[in-house]
Structure 1
Amino acid sequence: MFELIFILVFVATLLVTGITMLSVFLATGFAFAIMLLLGMVGAVIKLIPWLIVIAIGIWFFKNYVHGHR
């Protein structure tokens, strides 16, 4: 949600300052790409504890539950 608010405020600021529409579209696309990338990085950082728990669970299952055949 923060990313969307940032992009809307960014576009409004560009429009108020009197920059050409082409520049506004290019800057908006660039800002959207950066915010999308940073949002995905933030989601991965939030998921790291769960990924570690899943990896430990798989390791435990392979080594102790599912005996060697």
Structure 2
Amino acid sequence: MVELLFLLAFAGVLFFTGISIVGMALAVAVGFVVMAVAGMIGMVFKLLPWLILIAVVVWIYRDRKGERPRY
């Protein structure tokens, strides 16, 4: 799915800028940004169970410690 996003972004930029050296460089840059953002979103979803587990452990630890919130 991510590869399809890369190809669509690459082809779209080439369609709008034309096939030239600057257009190719711009298409590669946009493709890199699309792949980086998609990879970061994928990593968040992959780590989401661990992040939830850490939040629950911290919540239980603070509840048992009896820490009062500062107002």
Using structure 1 for the length normalisation, give the TM-score: 0.67
Residues 1-69 of structure 1 correspond to what in structure 2 (within 5 A)? 19-64=19-64, 66-68=65-67
Distance 1:58 1:24 in 2: 48
**Considering only aligned residues, what root-mean-square deviation do their CA atoms show, in Å?**
2.5
Normalising by structure 2, report the TM-score: 0.65
**Unmatched segments (≥5 aa) in structure 2:** none
Moved over 4 A (4+): none
Q: Partners of 1:38 and 1:52 in 2: how far apart?
A: 21
Closer, same or farther in 2 for the Cα pair 1:28/1:60, shift >3 Å? same
Stretches of structure 1 lacking an aligned partner (at least 5 in a row): none
| Cα 1:68–1:34 shift into 2, 3 Å | closer
Deviation at 1:45, TM superposition (A): 0.7
Q: How many angstroms does 1:68 deviate by? A: 4.9
Structure 2 vs 1, CA of residues 62 and 20 (structure 1 numbering), >3 Å: closer, same or farther?
same
The C-alpha deviation readout for 1:7-65, integer Å capped at 9, x for no partner, is 8xx6xxx7xxxx2111100000001011101101111111100000000000110112x
